[in-house]
Amino acid sequence: MKGSSPKGGSHNYDYSFKILLTGDSGVGKSSLLLSFISTFVQDLPPTVGVDFKVKQILVGGNRLKLTIWDTAGQERFGTVISSYYRGAHGIILVYDVTQRETFTNLLNIWAKEVETYSTNPECIKILVGNKVDRENERAVTREEGMALAQEHKCLFLECSAKTRENVQQCFKDLTLKMLEVPSLLDSGSVEVKRHILKQKQEDRFPCNGDCCS
């Protein structure tokens, strides 16, 4: 398991949210994540197991710390990654618009996993059709994507990790919706409140150098 931390103060934020990327292997989940957090995008090998990245952003006047989990998208890891659904505030369900099977698998596999393992009843979900830069190879229409999203009460967006089209918008739409849900704000602020309490205790009982003597 790999991870990265934001530069600067790790507690300089208002809310801390957990976001999960899920969908078939090869749909571009890792590329979407890299496109969001980095200025450099490259072709990536399939994720093995689970990877995560952390990014701080400003949305709606709120400073947010996003911990974004990227799952392998391979069924043999299903039992391993099930725990990563727990506690997620937002879930991005990704399919490849040029591969119809990845779209049908959202219903047959991934939506069922989300329903089974997600522990936040009001978790916000967004359906994302990736690789729209390959329009001439399209196998899933935008209208089909919108219809599936409406049926399952998800947000919807098409994007391209390669050209960065709508990548930032995807995370912005998701986080803005999360900020509208009181229960997600409460759970998202627990870590922040814990840090503030710890800091107050340290300020109240500062170590003067003789703490361990």
- pLDDT tens per residue across span 35-87: 998 754 444 444 444 677 889 999 988 999 999 998 765 554 555 566 778 78
pLDDT band of residue 174 (cuts 50, 70, 90) is: very high
In a domain, 8, yes or no: no
In a domain, 147, yes or no: yes
In a domain, 202, yes or no: no
In a domain, 81, yes or no: yes
Tokens found for residue 60? 């709606």
Number of separate domains in the chain = 1
In a domain, 40, yes or no: yes
> For the chain, first and last CA: distance in Å?
38
In a domain, 115, yes or no: yes
In a domain, 26, yes or no: yes
In a domain, 82, yes or no: yes
Q: How far is 87 from 184, CA to CA, in rounded Å?
A: 10
pLDDT more than 70, % of the chain: 72
Domain that holds residue 149: 15-187
- pLDDT tens per residue across span 99-146: 999 999 998 888 888 888 888 889 999 999 999 999 999 999 999 999
> What's the CATH number where 133 sits?
3.40.50.300
Q: How far is 59 from 207, CA to CA, in rounded Å?
A: 37
Exposed (0-12), middle (13-18) or buried (19+): which is 191, by Cβ within 10 Å?
A: middle
Q: How far is 188 from 182, CA to CA, in rounded Å?
A: 10
